[in-house]
Amino acid sequence: MERNGSERPGSAAPPYDVVVFDCDSTLSRIEGIEDLAREQAEEIRALTDRAMLGEVPLEEVYGRRLELIRPSRAALARVANRYEEEALPGAAHTVATLRELGKEVRVVSGGLLPCVRPFAARLGIDPELVFAVDAATAEDGSWQDFDRASPLARAGGKLDLLRSWGDLGSIALVGDGATDLEAAPACARFIAFTAVAARPAVVAGADAVCTGPGLDALLPLLLTPEELATLEPA
Ligand SMILES: [Mg+2]
């Protein structure tokens, strides 16, 4: 864990009212879309990497990936379970700790809502506070389409979504990708979480960096010394 030297305008030390987590490669080790794409995994991974490195805008790869995969309802449910199996150590404990201290915990993900929402709910996060890209399946369970109007399926969408919330108080955001870093201007602290994926451009732009290994390593960056002192030793 380390702090970056330069102070970003608008950045502020704890306390925070709201803590927002990315999902893929942050709350869970997997990238859900890659897990959906067993057959086309290499091609999908290359597309995801280019978007998360900021080389291509997310919207260029988002629809392309799903057209290749066309996941069934059963496949979406399987990924929800895979997110949980691959959850970072301390995920549920960290969420519970933040909530006990009166923080609102939200998830903002470019993943698919039918996968992300059940996983987040199992971590103790209010399903109403999980924001991801909705997707529709037909009555027989076959893929129909994703919500092409979702801001989370395009570059800059996380920033637009956070700004659309109005004044919730001060927000801390935790994530690993370029789309997370883009949302930093709406936040008092953007923490690059690098336990799963360390992306140099994201680390360089972050207010703080957390290398893990678990999500509880974030607590000293999310809480004041006074808040930390109220916690039971782990
Ligand atoms: Mg991510």
Whether the Cβ atoms of residue 49 and residue 85 lie closer than 8 Å to each other: no
Q: How confident is the model at residue 4 (pLDDT cuts 50, 70, 90)?
A: low
Task: Kindly report the average pLDDT of the chain as a whole number.
Answer: 93
Q: Label residues 180-200 b or e (16+ Cβ within 10 Å = b).
A: bbbbbebbbbbbbbbbbbebe
Report field, pTM of the whole predicted structure over 0.75: yes
Residue type, 122: R
- The predicted-structure confidence for 6-24, as pLDDT tens digits, reads as follows 688 889 999 999 999 999 9
Q: How many angstroms separate the alpha carbon of residue 22 from the centre of ligand 1?
A: 6
Active site residue 24: yes
pLDDT surpasses 50 at 42: yes
Classified by CATH at the fold level, domain 2-229 comes out as Rossmann fold (3.40.50)
Active site residue 147: no
Packed helices 58-69 and 41-52: angle between N→C axes, nearest 10 degrees = 160
Q: How many angstroms separate the alpha carbon of residue 227 from the centre of ligand 1?
A: 27
- The predicted-structure confidence for 94-133, as pLDDT tens digits, reads as follows 999 999 999 999 999 999 999 999 999 999 999 999 999 9
% of the chain beyond a pLDDT of 90: 78
Please state the domain extents for the chain: 2-229
Annotated catalytic residue within 24, 35, 180, 207:
24
pLDDT attached to residue 50: 86
Q: β-pairing, 208-210 with 189-193?
A: parallel
Residue type, 215: L
Q: How confident is the model at residue 1 (pLDDT cuts 50, 70, 90)?
A: very low
Whether the Cβ atoms of residue 56 and residue 50 lie closer than 8 Å to each other: yes
3-state secondary structure of 51: helix
pLDDT surpasses 80 at 41: no
The secondary structure of residue 184, as a DSSP letter, is G
d(CA 156, CA 146): 18
